[in-house]
Structure formats: C-alpha cells, structure tokens
C-alpha cells in the first residue's frame, strides 16, 4: 500500500494521532433497526440509486411519482459502522457521492474514519469535499483508499484539496490522506481485513471490496460490496465465496452495457450463494414493492436508510 509520498504507510491510525477526538453522538436505540454504532458491525445503505437518482428530473413515471419512500433513491453509497478491538467506534464510507451531505445528515453519522472508493465516476466521488466537516468534528485527517486510476482522477478534480499550496488563499477544505491500493492485496483498517477485488464496469476495471471482521463473530461479515458491475472476472470469484452478505449492482430489467440487469444479478447471486443478497444502483424502472415481491427470502432490493445487522 503506497502512501501520499510514494512510501509504505508508517503512520498510526487516526485515533492514535488524535487521542481525544470529539466522540460521536449516540442516539438512544429504539429497536434493532434503529441501533446505531456500538453493535458488532452494521451495514447502512446511504443511497441505492443510479447516477441520476430517483425520482429522475422531469419524469412522471409511476416510480418517480411513487409515495413509497423506498422508491426514492439517492446515489449509491454505504457505511460500515462497528466497534474496533480497542472499543473505539468507527465509520468507514463506501464511496462519497454528490448526495453525501444529505445522506449523513439523514443517518445521523458524525464521524468518518476512512473512505473506500470503487471508481472515479461523478456519482461516487463528487461528495469528497463534504468530508471537511468530519475533519473539524474529529480534529483529524481522513484516509481515502482507491486504485491508481481513481486516485489520479480525484487528485485532478480536487486539486484544491491535494495541492493546497496552489490555492490562492486559505479556505475551508477537506484534509484527506490518499493511499493507493491494488486488487487482491488486503489492507487492515481498525481491525477489519479489507480486500479490494477487481470488477468490470463495462470495459472499465473498478474495485469492489471483501470485508472481514477477524476478531469477532458477525451477522454481516464476510461482506462483499460490488456496485457498478457488468461482469465478474474469473480471478474475483474466489473472493465471493463464503459470504454472509453480498451487495450487488442491479440496474433494471433491460440490457445495459455497463451494469448488471436484475436477472443477471440474480444469476450471480445464485452462483455466489451468500446468506443474504442486497441489490443496489437501481434505476426508476424497478418498482420497489413489485420487484421485491418476486424474490426468495434471502434476496432484497436495498433502500436508502436500510440497516443490515
């Protein structure tokens, strides 16, 4: 793993650099579905929609005009929330899209310890600037992890963050520490074993993630997060074995050159054999209640705000 100046990372975790960060506010849990940080691990879906979101601007289809909140979908992203082996609560974001501010406000998330990026498309990285509020609340920088192509793209788009010396004046910007990662080379974050895995988004190679919690039993891990995928390379299939939870792209019923159809996603889910599978990155062509009614008990359409634990 290469750090920001091309050397192996030797710095301590964020919490060690800043021994007294502002602790997150913990709302009283009203039920298992409203339990916040403090359980062994939860997966929280912050957004489950395609790049245009749902409702789509200017569309009056039955999904875009639905009064079912599960048919409203912000851009796809998620959060892993857990307590690390030292007893410290942690939040790792999976992507940081343009709806990030709205998503974390709705979820009540008040810390961010790291961000795992899947690829550099707008709907997955154009919320990185919002991380500046977490810098202030935690009084700490935030590590972001991505492959080389994605990191080069975000460095270019966010030059004001990664090349602060070129800014004309000081301003309120995020403090992010970039680390390049490679497929199938695992990293450890706060006790979690995280293995980047190669996926294909049309002709574009991107990353998914296999996330394991070695020190404790979990009803969520091993977890694989595979958004924006049109096919699974042969070398990735072993990393989809033995999963408790699989998160998988399922755009619509009609063919798309860079995303799985729902039927293709179902076939991959059959092969992977995870205990539970949740579909994400849905367009306005998938009506939540109608689509989910045809699933087996171990399959669900994810929806914004859904907590898996």
Q: Closest Cα to residue 211, out of 237, 243, 183?
A: 243
Rounded distance between C-alpha atoms, residue 270 and residue 243, angstroms: 12
Whole-number average pLDDT of the chain: 89
pLDDT above 70: percentage of residues in the chain? 87
pLDDT greater than 80 at residue 69: yes
Give the chain's domains with CATH numbers: 31-303 (3.60.15.10)
pLDDT of residue 299: 97
Do residues 227 and 207 make contact, with C-beta atoms less than 8 angstroms apart?
A: no
pLDDT of residue 276: 98
What pLDDT, in 10s, does the model give residues 16-41?
A: 333 333 344 443 333 333 334 445 89
Lowest mean pLDDT among 9-18, 41-50, 208-217, 290-299: 9-18
The structure's pTM equals 0.87
| pLDDT tens, position by position, 228-260 | 999 999 999 999 999 999 999 999 999 999 999
Question: Is the N-terminal amide bond of 222 cis, ω within 30° of 0?
Answer: yes
- Buried-state track 197-232, b at ≥16 Cβ within 10 A, e below 16: bbbbbeeeebbbbbbbbeeeebebbbbbbbbbbbeb
Residues 53 and 299: their CA atoms lie apart, in Å, by 22
Residue 285 burial by CB count (10 A; 0-12/13-18/19+): exposed, middle or buried?
middle
What's the CA gap between 1 and 49, in Å, rounded?
31
């Amino acid at each position: 793993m290469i750090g920001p100046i091309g050397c192996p990372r030797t710095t301590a975790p964020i919490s060690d650099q800043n021994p007294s960060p502002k602790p997150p506010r913990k709302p009283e849990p009203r039920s298992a579905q409203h339990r916040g940080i403090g359980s062994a691990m939860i997966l929280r879906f912050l957004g489950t929609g395609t790049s245009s979101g749902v409702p789509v601007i200017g569309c009056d289809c039955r999904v875009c005009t639905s009064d079912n909140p599960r048919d409203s979908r912000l851009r796809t992203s998620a959060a892993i929330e857990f307590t690390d082996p030292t007893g410290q609560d942690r939040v790792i974001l999976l992507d940081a899209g343009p709806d990030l501010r709205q998503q974390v406000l709705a979820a009540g998330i008040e810390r961010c310890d790291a961000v795992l990026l899947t690829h550099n498309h707008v709907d997955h990285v154009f919320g990185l600037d919002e991380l500046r509020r977490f810098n202030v609340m935690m009084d700490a920088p935030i590590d972001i992890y991505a492959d080389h192509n994605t990191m080069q793209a975000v460095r270019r788009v966010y030059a004001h963050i990664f090349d602060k010396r070129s800014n004309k004046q000081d301003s309120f910007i995020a403090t992010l520490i970039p680390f390049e990662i490679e497929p199938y080379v695992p990293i450890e974050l706060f006790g979690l074993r995280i293995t980047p895995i190669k996926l294909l988004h049309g002709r574009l190679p991107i990353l998914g993630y296999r996330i394991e919690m070695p020190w404790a039993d979990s009803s969520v891990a091993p977890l694989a997060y595979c958004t924006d995928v049109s096919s699974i390379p042969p070398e990735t299939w072993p990393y989809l074995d033995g999963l408790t939870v699989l998160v998988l792209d399922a755009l619509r019923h009609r063919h798309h050159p860079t995303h799985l159809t729902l039927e293709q996603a179902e076939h991959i889910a059959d092969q992977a054999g995870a205990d539970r599978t949740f579909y994400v990155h849905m367009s306005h062509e998938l009506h939540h209640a109608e689509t989910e009614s045809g699933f087996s008990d171990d399959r669900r359409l994810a929806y914004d705000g859904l907590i898996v634990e």
